[in-house]
Amino acid sequence: MNPFFSKYDTPHGTVPFHLIKLEDYEPAIVEGMARQKAEIDAIVNNPEIPTFANTIEPYELSGEMLNRVSTVFGNQLSANTNPKLQDLANKLMPMLSEHENDISLNPQLFARIKAVYDNRANEQLNREQLKLLEDIYIGFTRNGANLSEEQKATFREITMQLSLLSLQFSNNLLNETNVYQLHLTDPNQLQGLPESAIEAAKEAAQQKGLEGWIFTLKAPSFSPFMMYADHRELRQELYMAYHTRCTHNNEYNNIEVVKQLVNLRLKVAQLLGYNTYADYVLERRMAQDKQHVYQLENDLLAAYKQTALQELEEMQSLARELEGDDFELMPWDLGYYAHKLKERKFDLDNEKLRPYFELEHVKQGVFGLATRLYGITFKPNKDIPVYHPDVEAFEVFDKDGSFLAVLYTDFHPRDGKQGGAWMTSYKEQWIDRKTGENSRPHVSLVMNFTKPTKQKPALLTHGEVNTFLHEFGHSLHAMFANTTYQSLSGTNVYWDFVELPSQFMENYAVEKEFLHTFAKHYKTGELLPDELVQRIFDAQNFNVGYACLRQLSFGFLDMAWYTRKEVFEGDVMDYEREAWQPTQIMPQVDGTCMSVQFSHIFSGGYAAGYYSYKWAEVLDADAFALFKEQGIFNQTTAASFRENILSKGGTEHPMTLYKRFRGQEPTIDALLIRNGIKR
């Protein structure tokens, strides 16, 4: 029997991964679409006058089965894919796109929704109901409900193409990443590399039946090589392999895919009456318009560029001191000499910190932080099915002992997993209007951390600890959700607000009181020494200017692609160079291209929204300043953060929620002070 066709007989109704087979997806998605179509037809054919109760709530609840299946399917495409699953996605995505369009372009359905919206003043709706109604109505208008029949046909065609192209973009990047390997057999080529990187590379070679060492383009392999390898030509080779992905003359080339995605999104925006795709996107963001985005980015550029230039000069000076006066720093040298400079200035080396960040201890520390702030606890449950042996499932309990959520953790890279780190949900929170039951969420953390070896457990870098905190912040946003409607729950908020809970948690990565709760040597049990904690704190703003310019370069590139008013027919690489030129302080290398790898804005949800990371950084610095004033573990402040930010989802405008927590609108000052730019 297809496991999607009946209620899950698992703890907390979790996904029965152990029962799901590849051939289960298509019939379940087809059935899910049929069921939602029947539910929509029932709303449309209701002879009663349209009301919130007979139109909006049934629409919100429609598609339950389809949502369950497509959520599992989509998440597996990112975290545990294979060629057969990718082929199936190419078949199913157009069907799903057409189904979504059948709903959003249904004139009878929209007429009922509009009737409720126009009569909303007489409906006596509470704040959350009104927000749901507004979101649904605006969502329909933004998805073509007001278009003519001819325009709707065009809209359908474009959105179907976009769904396939987005999938093609991400598959190309994953496949191109997996294809490459740097196979070394000469031990002299390993000079400078830490033991942990050499061990991992040796195991990678053994798994492929080869002698020597294999380095890949996945972060736990690529990053240490670029930071530690003395062999400059090999650093250059690996750098070029990484930064030319999807530019080669093969089936994984994304140049034309980028052009098509940009042009189709522009076409959609203009079809809907907007000048640019950015105008369309930003209408539903805290930033509101591109002028505010550029104001933020230009203000940050002005504030940080001089610092970045000074940082670069320090690295260049060190490199010439070590290599000779005619040495010119290139992009493949940055990680290497930045590490040496950091070590000289702060006597701080990631590899010396690794033994104190054993993954199991880090997990206890991060979970323990949530316990200390919010009183929640985590209990492993091996009876909850998982989709891969690497995955662990936890039950999460609230401070009163009641069940709060299920949390999956998936920490290590593999061929079937996209790069990077993210939080996702297999089930979101909502309240059953009939029974009053608060249906709790099932949340997943997916990362690509350093793997254990035969000799050592998984020992993380401090940067990976930071990433864990970031994604865990997203999971708290999802797990603390306490809203009536699923579409307003958890992380269903404006995308320039969604990074606040995640980036807020990163503040703890340099706090001694937090680090001393878990950071102990995996062999000796020795607590991370105070002097190392102090060095971590002192080094927190190392190369902060360069890091800011790097993020701004991505933001400028994103806005350049999506503030276009005309179809793009030029050279992608040339356009990229010009777009982010104000942020570039290093030579740009011929043949490299970020756009063809920029998943966030081409296959993710950040098109015209990459600025969100810096926007939310302003918020998180301002928010954490309150914790610094009142105590970083202050439970009263934490309770307010949970109540006003983490539990409310998208039930109110983000600035309203933020001011309710903070008592004021944020300014850029807290970020500048935290980064040492302003005293």
Pair of tokens at residue 392? 């662990």
> Where a domain ends, among 501, 518, 535?
518
User: What gap in Å lies between CA 280 and CA 269, rounded to an integer?
Assistant: 6
pLDDT of residue 556: 98
pLDDT of residue 433: 87
User: Is the same domain home to 392 and 483?
Assistant: yes
Assigned domain for 248 exists = no
List pLDDT tens digits, range 83-110: 999 999 999 999 999 999 999 999 999 9
Q: What is the pTM of this model?
A: 0.94
**One domain, residues 139 and 239:** no
pLDDT, tens only, 142-154: 999 999 999 999 9
The pLDDT confidence band at residue 69, using thresholds 50, 70 and 90, is very high
Show the tokens assigned to 623: 């928010």
Residue 678: pLDDT band (50, 70, 90) is: confident
What is the overall mean pLDDT for the chain? 97
For a pLDDT cut of 90, what percent of the chain falls above it?
97
Contact between 472 and 505 (Cβ < 8 Å): yes
Total structural domains within the chain: 3
CB 16 within 8 A of CB 97: no
Whichever domain contains 376, its CATH number is 1.10.1370.40
Answer yes or no: do 132 and 234 share one domain: no
Q: Backbone phi, then psi, for 520, in 5-degree steps?
A: -135, 150
Q: Do 580 and 561 meet the contact criterion of CB atoms below 8 Å apart?
A: no
Tell me: do 97 and 25 sit in the same domain. Answer: yes
**pLDDT, tens only, 467-487:** 999 999 999 999 999 999 999
Mean pLDDT, to the nearest integer, of 373-381? 98
What is the per-residue pLDDT for 579? 98
User: Given this model, what pLDDT does residue 350 score?
Assistant: 86
Residues 226 and 373 in one domain: no
Predicted pLDDT of residue 119? 97
Domain that holds residue 497: 355-518
Question: Which among 518, 538, 570 is the end of a domain?
Answer: 518
The structure tokens listed for 300 are: 């940050």
In a domain, 609, yes or no: no
Reduced to 3 states (helix: H, G, I; strand: E, B; else coil), residue 501 is helix
Burial class of residue 222, CB neighbours in 10 A (0-12, 13-18, 19+): buried
Tell whether 324 is covered by a domain: no
* Same-domain pairing of 122 and 41: yes
For residues 448 and 512, state if they share a domain.
yes
Quick check: 27 pLDDT over 80? yes
Contacting residues for 469 by C-beta, under 8 A, at least 6 apart: 366, 505, 506, 508, 509
Residue 487 lies in a domain: yes
Strand ranges, E, within 259-398: 377-380, 392-397
Specify the CATH number for the domain of residue 51. 1.20.1050.40
Domain boundary among 191, 219, 243: 243
Tell me, yes or no, whether 37 lies in a domain.
yes
Classified as helix, coil or strand, 404 is strand
| Residue 622, in any domain of the structure | no
Percent of the chain at pLDDT > 70 equals 100
Out of 351, 471, 499, 511, which one is annotated catalytic?
471
Shared domain for 360 and 507, answered yes or no, is: yes
Domain identity same for 370 and 507: yes
126 and 201 inside one domain: no
Taking the CA atoms of residue 76, residue 82, residue 83 and residue 85 in that order, the dihedral angle to the nearest 10 degrees is -30
**Tens digit of pLDDT for each residue in 184-241?**
999 999 999 999 999 999 999 999 999 999 999 999 999 999 999 999 999 999 999 9
Name the pLDDT band for 329 (thresholds 50, 70, 90).
very high
Question: Active-site residue 471, yes or no?
Answer: yes
In a domain, 203, yes or no: yes
Do 499 and 409 have their domain in common?
Answer: yes
- Same domain for 133 and 17: yes
Residue 403 φ/ψ, nearest 5 degrees: -70, 130
Average pLDDT over residues 358-381: 98
Both tokens of residue 428? 């979101």
Report, as an integer, the average pLDDT of 530-544.
95
**Domain annotation covers residue 153:** no
